[in-house]
């Protein structure tokens, strides 16, 4: 598996990172172990998790698997909370959450620690001060953010004591919103993108083209609202184009979707996750796929997003 620099930093990360959002809830520890082994055997060395995934259980599982794997880099996140507030990037919460994550992960430090979401209730200076303290204490090696808009990313970067090297954002052929401002900001500021849900929340696999499989996320009560926004006419046209390209090239829709995201210039790592080891095995079989230039262009055309003033057309 290819190694890439995460932004302008000296940290080399796997081209595909292993996501663990389902671990401890939809994926039990045995399936998770099989997933980890498959990923590791494929050369993957970058695991992504968060303190809220399965209320901390995902981090505990990651910690168990990585106890003796000192060559595995860990990315985790803090700042999302299971309360009406939803976001808490206060110094008190972040530093408490960091210590709890380290205990669960059984490590003395987190390689890349992401602020999970922008917190409108906490002054940015307080959030960045807590992040600087985390690095100064040796508990965090590198800092990232997640789900920030373009101006939020720029504000955080310019106000941070230490470089922000990663922006973990949803990015796929079905969700290209970060191309309006975040990609340009990240490029200008030397920040690498970690693309989460590169398969469009599973829709780009093509499994929802004709119906909703009974064993799919869209059929579950806790995930259906997550998938439904991508089951519209616009998305269907994109999925049809992906499947047509796959058929013509002798590839799978997963091959096409991952090849497209991996070729994006600002993407350092794409976060791949699965509910089962069998699903992950299929995804891992696709990581070396490449697309002809004309297919890239056709997919970009069919999935193009609306862009306008002021981020495009006036001063670009």
The fraction of the chain above a pLDDT of 70, given in percent, is 98
Structural domains in the chain, CATH included, are: 3-200+264-289 (3.20.20.100)
Q: Indicate the range of 18-22, 296-300, 311-315 predicted with least confidence.
A: 311-315
Backbone angles phi and psi of 311, in degrees to 5? -80, -10
Asked if residue 310 has a cis previous peptide bond (ω within 30° of 0), the answer is yes
What average pLDDT does range 83-88 have in this prediction? 93
Give one DSSP letter per residue of 103-143, joined into a string: HHHT-S-EEEEEE-S--TTS-HHHHHHHHHHHHHTTSEEEE
Largest CA distance in the chain: 54
pTM as predicted: 0.95
Confidence of residue 316 (pLDDT cuts 50, 70, 90): low
pLDDT digits (tens, 9 = 90+) for 260-290: 999 999 999 999 999 999 999 999 999 999 9
Distance CA 296, CA 148 (A): 27
Q: How many helices (H) and strands (E) does the chain have?
A: 11, 10
pLDDT digits (tens, 9 = 90+) for 216-254: 776 676 778 888 899 999 999 999 999 999 999 999 999
Please say whether the dihedral angle defined by the alpha carbons of residues 191, 200, 76 and 121, taken in this order, is positive or negative: positive
189 closest CA partner among 7, 13, 54 = 7
- Grouping H, G, I as helix, E, B as strand and the rest as coil, residue 51 is coil
What average pLDDT does range 189-204 have in this prediction? 97
């Amino acid at each position: 598996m290819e190694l890439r620099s995460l932004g302008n930093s000296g940290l080399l990360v796997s081209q595909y990172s292993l996501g663990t959002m389902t671990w401890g809830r939809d994926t039990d520890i045995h399936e998770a172990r099989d997933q980890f082994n498959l990923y590791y055997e494929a050369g993957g060395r970058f695991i992504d998790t968060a303190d809220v995934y399965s209320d901390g259980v995902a981090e505990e599982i990651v910690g168990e698997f990585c106890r003796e794997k000192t060559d595995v880099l860990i990315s985790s996140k803090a700042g999302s909370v299971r309360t009406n507030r939803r976001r808490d990037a206060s110094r008190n919460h972040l530093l408490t959450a960091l210590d709890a994550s380290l205990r669960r992960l059984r490590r003395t430090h987190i390689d890349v620690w992401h602020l999970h979401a922008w917190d409108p209730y906490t002054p940015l200076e307080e959030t960045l001060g807590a992040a600087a303290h985390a690095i100064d204490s040796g508990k965090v090696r590198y800092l990232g953010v997640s789900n920030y808009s373009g101006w939020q990313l720029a504000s955080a970067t310019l106000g941070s004591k230490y470089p922000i090297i990663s922006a973990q954002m949803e990015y796929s052929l079905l969700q290209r919103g970060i191309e309006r401002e975040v990609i340009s900001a990240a490029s200008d500021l030397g920040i690498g993108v970690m693309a989460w849900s590169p398969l469009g929340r599973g829709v780009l696999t093509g499994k929802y083209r004709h119906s909703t499989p009974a064993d799919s996320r869209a059929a579950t009560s806790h995930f259906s609202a997550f998938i439904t926004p991508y089951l519209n006419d616009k998305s269907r046209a994109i999925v049809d184009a992906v499947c047509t390209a796959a058929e013509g090239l002798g590839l799978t829709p997963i091959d096409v979707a991952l090849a497209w995201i991996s070729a994006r210039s600002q993407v350092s790592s794409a976060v791949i996750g699965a509910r089962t080891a069998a699903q992950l095995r299929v995804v891992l079989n696709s990581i070396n796929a490449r697309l002809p230039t004309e297919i890239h262009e056709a997919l970009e055309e069919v999935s193009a997003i609306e862009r306008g003033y002021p981020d495009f057309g006036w001063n670009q």
